[in-house]
Amino acid sequence: MKRYSFLTLLGGALTGQRSWRPAWRDPEPRASYDVVIVGAGGHGLATAYYLASKHGIRRVAVLEKGWLGGGNTGRNTQVTRSNYFWPQSAAFYDHSLRLYENLSRELDFNVMLSQRGILTLAHSEHELEGLRRWANAIQINGVDSELVSRAEIARLVPLLNLDGRFPVHGGFIQRRGGISRHDAVAWGYARAADALGVDILQQCEVQGFRRQGNRIVGVETSRGDIAAGSVVLCVAAHTSVLAAKLGLRLPISSMALQAMVSEPVKPCLDTIVLSPVVHVYVSQSDRGELVIGGGADVYASYAQRGGLPVLHANLTALLELFPVFSRLRLMRQWAGTVDITPDTTPIMGRTPFDNLYINCGWGTGGYKAIPAGGDTMAHTIATGEPHPLIRDFGLERFERGALIDEGAAAGVAH
């Protein structure tokens, strides 16, 4: 892999930028692989990268029916944070955040992580009490979080309207929370995995599985059959669709989660502001666009587009908090299909099939989990045992009743 550096940039500048090569190969599928990963989103690519880099398993294919990073990985609002309530979640997401903090160096690809802090607002004294409990739980989990007063919020976010229909009473902030560039995360993992020998097969849709008893021996794809030692599903909201081909039912509901950006403006917002009550969050990208998101649409959908009522609710909530933004034009709006579980905790690990693994159920928050999701899945596949960080995230928790209810900690109600 040709390393990127200031010198390669300078060299490119002196030679008319003609020296650049594609960052990954476009190989033909081989007849068999040790591990076949379905889905070249962040989680699939990261799993492939850590399988190759940490466990020496390099006969790996990542199959993608569209183009890599084109699903939820390229549709989210790029927020990374680890302010979770339950210890299992906090440990997992903080591991992810720590991997993010070193990701640009590890992948030799600038993911543009900006730890600008994520501020959660309380709009009543009761809600502030709730946030205090939440912030304390986060601190006990060993993760940074601090309560901030109304006066501090006014200093931190001068454009925020503190006396709207629901006045701001205070809030809490995780200063290590931030945003990064989601395409760069997908491309960085793809390039690094490809350099280690992983085949990324785009335009290669999995249409079925080949079974021998309780083992999956291969996948049937639009580019022919591929034999597999192990198979991993990293396909978010389509996990139900693929699992149904094996008669496996999952606790997942697929819904649309929309996001939108305004036209670009000069820097005016240097933190992420989130309000669970009026249900919106906003940050400003490096390009100057305001990136706006809220709750998922209310009914099941695979359409990858959001409805107008939720769009309207998101924007009215935003304008309540930031009346000054009413003059901006909306530039783009889109949606991803998210896989929501009953306890809003992901499903990771083994399945009733011997060598089939799943990594799904991320719902509205999978982006921040990409590095840890890949790291722990790779460990699970390589050793056959769930990584300690995901031991409680298994599919069997639903039968045991050992749910990890992060509905509150996800920041916005689902």
Partner 1 sequence: MLQIACPYCGVRDEEEFRYGGESHVARPGPEASDAAWADYLYNRTNPKGVQRERWLHAYGCGRWFNMARDTITHEVLAVYRMGEPAPDLPGRVR
Residue with tokens 């706006």: 292
Q: Which residues pair with 358 in a beta bridge?
A: 233, 349
User: Minimum CB separation from partner 1 for residue 302, in Å?
Assistant: 5
Please pick, from the candidates 299, 326, 327, 329, the single residue that binds partner 1 as defined by CB under 8 A. 299
Buried b (16+ CB within 10 A) or exposed e, 12-28: eeeeeeeeeeebbeeee
CB-count burial class (<10 Å; 0-12, 13-18, 19+) for 244: exposed
- Residue 6 within binding range of partner 1, rule CB under 8 A: no
Task: Compare residues 174 and 221 and give the one whose CB is closer to partner 1.
Answer: 221
User: Minimum CB separation from partner 1 for residue 306, in Å?
Assistant: 11
Stretch that binds partner 1, among 1-9, 28-36, 60-68, 300-308 (CB under 8 A): 300-308
Stretch that binds partner 1, among 1-9, 117-125, 192-200, 237-245 (CB under 8 A): 237-245
- Residue 303 within binding range of partner 1, rule CB under 8 A: yes
Stretch that binds partner 1, among 67-75, 172-180, 246-254, 323-331 (CB under 8 A): 246-254
What's the maximum distance between 2 C-alpha atoms anywhere in the chain? 65
Please pick, from the candidates 9, 151, 154, 244, the single residue that binds partner 1 as defined by CB under 8 A. 244
Euclidean distance between CA atoms 20 and 12, whole angstroms? 8
- Residue 241 within binding range of partner 1, rule CB under 8 A: yes
User: Minimum CB separation from partner 1 for residue 339, in Å?
Assistant: 9
Question: Using only C-alpha atoms, what is the Rg of the chain?
Answer: 21
- Residue 208 within binding range of partner 1, rule CB under 8 A: no
Token pair, residue 320, equals 């309540």
User: Minimum CB separation from partner 1 for residue 343, in Å?
Assistant: 9
Token pair, residue 208, equals 């079925």
User: Minimum CB separation from partner 1 for residue 158, in Å?
Assistant: 34
Task: Compare residues 4 and 334 and give the one whose CB is closer to partner 1.
Answer: 334
Token pair, residue 174, equals 């995780």
* Cβ atoms of 37 and 46 closer than 8 Å: no
- Residue 407 within binding range of partner 1, rule CB under 8 A: no
Nearest to 76 by CA among 313, 304, 364: 364
Q: How many residues bind partner 1 (CB under 8 A)?
A: 24
Read off the DSSP letter of residue 387.
Answer: -
Stretch that binds partner 1, among 68-76, 100-108, 241-249, 278-286 (CB under 8 A): 241-249
- Residue 344 within binding range of partner 1, rule CB under 8 A: no
CB-count burial class (<10 Å; 0-12, 13-18, 19+) for 142: exposed
Task: Compare residues 50 and 353 and give the one whose CB is closer to partner 1.
Answer: 353
Task: Compare residues 69 and 361 and give the one whose CB is closer to partner 1.
Answer: 361
User: Minimum CB separation from partner 1 for residue 399, in Å?
Assistant: 4
Please pick, from the candidates 105, 165, 327, 400, the single residue that binds partner 1 as defined by CB under 8 A. 400
Please pick, from the candidates 230, 301, 344, 345, the single residue that binds partner 1 as defined by CB under 8 A. 301
CB-based contacts of 255, cutoff 8 Å, min separation 6 = 237, 296, 297, 298, 299, 300, 301, 337, 338, 340
- Torsion angle of the four alpha carbons 197, 202, 204, 205, in this order, in degrees rounded to the nearest 10: 120
- Residue 351 within binding range of partner 1, rule CB under 8 A: no
Task: Compare residues 9 and 300 and give the one whose CB is closer to partner 1.
Answer: 300
Task: Residue 30: count other Cβ atoms within 10 Å of its Cβ.
Answer: 12
Read off the DSSP letter of residue 279.
Answer: T
- Residue 334 within binding range of partner 1, rule CB under 8 A: no
Sites of contact with partner 1 (CB under 8 A): 238, 240-241, 244, 249-254, 298-303, 307-309, 342, 398-401
